[in-house]
Amino acid sequence: MNARVPVPEGNVHMVSLLRLRAKLRAHLLEATHQLESLVVRRRLNGRPDPLEAQVVHDLRTEGVHVTTIDRLLPQSAPALYQAFRLALDLLYHDPLKEPSRVWRRGAASNDLRADVMLEHVPELYLLGLEPRLLVMVQQYLRLPVAYHGAVVRHSLVDGVGAGPRLWHQDGEDFHVLRMVVYLNDVTLGGGPFEYIPRTVGLSYKRFSGTEEELTNERMSQVVPIEQWSRVYGPAGTVVLADTGQVFHHESLQTQRDRAVIMIGYSSRRPKSMDTAMAHFPVEQVAADLRRIVPSANHAHVFDWRRPPYATDVATLKRQGGAA
């Protein structure tokens, strides 16, 4: 029997107060971002090259831009493809045991452990600090850039519709720029990145509530399947998306597994510091990172991070006021 436990009156008032404080804090932070972006715009020197301009335009309209490593980073591409092959070797030659010294089990995938990445394929972490990428991200965000880190993710044909396979928007910040690089060919049944274009104007308000999982069935009740977009492509395909503004998910693998690199960015004062910090365990591997990250990039990697703090959600749970 799942009887709902009544919330004491004092806790009801506390819940309302905390929710109000959270809304006010979000509005204040968003206004601060807007003011800060005016300063950053003045510091942006010169005009972006045609590709950078197209990426920024597509992110602001469609919410997604699709390209390739060869086009995005032509000089670095040969070394990156070699690193991709090394990552795939780790993926396919290490048995997926629990617990594993190489992989960490997630909700619907196996992720390469951060310490293993930095030891064997540090190029994958440093990919996110490529100067052209950082310039492009700042041109889009118009704010100082925080680098969340990189994850190598292996998703299996297991029928598990959970975690990143559910439709969602990322909540780290108002705008979250995510880069997904396909390490193997992603075709029909291979779990392509799927999204609802920003032009549809979809928000959580279109759903009856955010507590239920946003499955394909629920999404199709709000947005016809004909308006969904999928990204297929060979190894080396790059998806750049504002996942804070675009509803997206990793569609379910039905025919073959999928391997990708996921890289993320936001402002240095994200809406949810805890969530932004959770993508990569910087504090656990700080010594290794400081050996490979150029000092010029320390502000992107280290300086914006803050010690974990109790969010309003955590406070609600401690107060016993979460419904």
Q: pLDDT tens digits, residue range 225-264? A: 999 999 999 999 999 999 999 999 999 999 999 999 999 9
Within-domain flag for 43: no
Residue at 29 is within a domain: no
Strands (E), 55-156: 64-68, 103-105, 110-112, 145-155
Paired tokens of 246 = 């675009």
Total domains present in the chain: 1
What range does the domain containing 97 cover? Answer: 49-310
10 Å Cβ neighbour count for 100? 15
Task: Give every CB contact of residue 9 below 8 A, 6+ residues apart in sequence.
Answer: none
Q: How do strand 237-242 and strand 229-231 relate by DSSP bridges?
A: unpaired
Query: Which residue in 308, 255, 259 sits closest to 281, CA to CA?
Result: 308
- Tens digits of residue pLDDT in 27-70: 676 777 777 666 666 667 667 799 999 999 999 999 999 999 99
pTM over 0.75: yes
Task: Look at 41-50, 116-125, 211-220, 285-294 and tell me which has the smallest mean pLDDT.
Answer: 41-50
Across 197-206, average pLDDT: 94
20, part of any domain: no
In a domain, 182, yes or no: yes
For the cut 60, the answer to whether the pLDDT of residue 4 exceeds it is no
Angle between helices 50-61 and 131-141 (to 10 degrees): 40
pLDDT at 316: 39
CATH number of domain containing 249: 2.60.120.620
Tell me whether residue 222 is in a domain.
yes
Angstrom distance (rounded) from CA 174 to CA 118: 29
Asked if residue 320 is part of any domain, the answer here is no
For the ranges 39-43, 111-115, 175-179, 261-265, the lowest mean pLDDT is seen at: 39-43
Judge whether 237 lies within some domain: yes
The answer as to whether 235 is a domain residue is yes
